[in-house]
Amino acid sequence: MARDGIEYNMTGMPELLGRLDGLEYDLKRKGGRFALRKAAQVLRDQARQNAEGVDDPRTSENIAANIVERWSGRLFKRTGNLGFRVGVLGGAKGAAKASGEVAGKGSGNPGGDTFYWRFVEFGTENAPAHPFMRPAINQVGNEPVDVFIKEYSKSIDRALKRARKKAGVK
């Protein structure tokens, strides 16, 4: 099955990139990770809002409560690039009945055992798809990019202010 890859290319930020040269390596990572998390939270919140519309309120499971943003340590270790993933907790396992558990019981996830989210998202041969994750990226538009730029700029300004204060310059 092919994956839907979504990438943002940020161009036109020469002033932001120019200020990055004055920062230490560690500070670039810390500020970038914080800003990137804030941007991922915009996408996560839209996906949660979409999931509320397709989730069955008669069940104890809640797909929206299981949508999270997570640091992509694997990407960072392989390439050195910062990255976050937005996805559904517990989405990589089969039905609870197959393992002998009772559906919705024993799951440590906040929304219960929502293994079936991908059936809702992609559909099955007997049920049509009701996507809630994939449309979220189109619904938020450039907001995550704008949030990233705003938060990273703030982080850089704070770091430069600390550096000036440490050097004794006002």
Query: What is the mean pLDDT of the segment spanning 76-96?
Result: 81
CB 146 within 8 A of CB 95: no
Q: What pLDDT score was predicted for residue 116?
A: 86
Q: Which residue has the higher pLDDT, 12 or 51?
A: 51
Nearest-angstrom CA–CA distance, 169 and 165:
6
Q: Which tokens belong to 158?
A: 């704070």
CB 36 within 8 A of CB 149: no
**Lowest-confidence region among 25-39, 110-124, 130-144:** 25-39
Q: Which tokens belong to 31?
A: 């500020």
How many of the other CB atoms lie within 10 Å of CB of 71? 15
Nearest-angstrom CA–CA distance, 153 and 110:
34
**pTM for this structure?**
0.75
